[in-house]
Amino acid sequence: MGVAKQLYQLQEVDLEIESKERTLSQIASQLGESQAVVRVQNQLQLEQQRLEELRHKQHSVEWEIDDLVTKVAAAEETLFSGRIKNPKELTNLQHEVEALKAKRDQLEEKALEIMDQVEQSETSVAKINNQLETLKAEWQRQQQQLSDEMERLKAILSDLRQKWQLLSEEIEPQAIGFYQELRKEKGTAVARVEQGICRGCRISLPTTDLQRVRGDNLVQCSSCGRILFLA
């Protein structure tokens, strides 16, 4: 086998390795935290905080109501006990009871409102929680797929590197050195010759070049400098 063909085969492997490595790093960049999951987690935390505050508010209102109920009972007990004889004092006490009752009614109204808000917030928390679970499951599935794909690519890359090694052992080290320099410079070091045209630069080769390519030597395109390979 001519050295140009060997180098061409080596290049095929190199290009395949490059492409697989690109895919691998693209996949690696997709691994990690999900923005969507983080966003919903924050949303959940906010709603949970709100719910906690509402429950706290609900309890204080309930305690205030209990306190008022006790006060009303005590005042009414005094009012109907007959212990107070003074009419002015009785009227005052009556007003006091009415005021306490009005305050109690107002707080009971407020307690109902808060209870409503608590229920709404509880529904929200449950809804966001569900959403989060769904997102997390989807994200985990994706991550699993990505790491499976990474494993698959790594195995392919390892095979390709082995293939590269085997191919390169058949080629003179000097030729490989030259090939690698050209690759660094031009991306592709070996260009096929098709219908008298160098596929590297798409320029028609002079007859002398074509004749030399048919020999067993390493011939460079006189236009782009790539190693020519006649299939």
Part of the chain binding Zn ion (CB under 5 A), chosen from 30-38, 137-145, 208-216, 219-227: 219-227
Of 182 and 198, CB closest to Zn ion: 198
What is the total count of residues that contact Zn ion (CB under 5 A)? 6
Q: Does 36 bind Zn ion (CB under 5 A)?
A: no
Q: Does 219 bind Zn ion (CB under 5 A)?
A: no
Part of the chain binding Zn ion (CB under 5 A), chosen from 32-40, 52-60, 68-76, 200-208: 200-208
Of 79 and 224, CB closest to Zn ion: 224
Taking a C-beta distance cutoff of 8 angstroms, is the pair 72, 101 a contact?
A: yes
Closest CA to 198 of 177, 181, 212, 216: 212
Q: How far is the CB of 177 from Zn ion (least distance, A)?
A: 21
Query: What are the CA-CA distances from residue 88 to residues 77, 85, 94, 124 (Å)?
Result: 17, 9, 10, 54
Taking a C-beta distance cutoff of 8 angstroms, is the pair 11, 189 a contact?
A: yes
Part of the chain binding Zn ion (CB under 5 A), chosen from 22-30, 100-108, 112-120, 197-205: 197-205
Closest CA to 221 of 197, 12, 8, 11: 197
Distant-in-sequence, close-in-space partners of 109: CB < 8 Å, separation ≥ 6: none
Q: How far is the CB of 19 from Zn ion (least distance, A)?
A: 23
Q: Does 200 bind Zn ion (CB under 5 A)?
A: yes
- Biggest CA–CA distance in the chain, Å, is 136
Q: Does 224 bind Zn ion (CB under 5 A)?
A: yes
Per CB under 5 A, the list member of 198, 213, 219, 227 interacting with Zn ion is 198
Q: Does 201 bind Zn ion (CB under 5 A)?
A: yes
Part of the chain binding Zn ion (CB under 5 A), chosen from 57-65, 77-85, 95-103, 194-202: 194-202
**CB-neighbour burial class of residue 31 (10 A; exposed 0-12, middle 13-18, buried 19+):** exposed
Part of the chain binding Zn ion (CB under 5 A), chosen from 28-36, 50-58, 134-142, 216-224: 216-224
Q: 199-225 as b/e, with b when 16 or more CB fall inside 10 Å?
A: bbeeeebeeebeebbeeeebbbbeebe
Of 36 and 197, CB closest to Zn ion: 197
Please tell me what DSSP assigns to residue 124.
H
* Strands ordered across the beta sheet of 190-194: 203-204, 197-198, 190-194, 227-230
Q: Does 72 bind Zn ion (CB under 5 A)?
A: no
Q: How far is the CB of 220 from Zn ion (least distance, A)?
A: 8
* Contact positions vs Zn ion (CB under 5 A): 198, 200-201, 221, 223-224
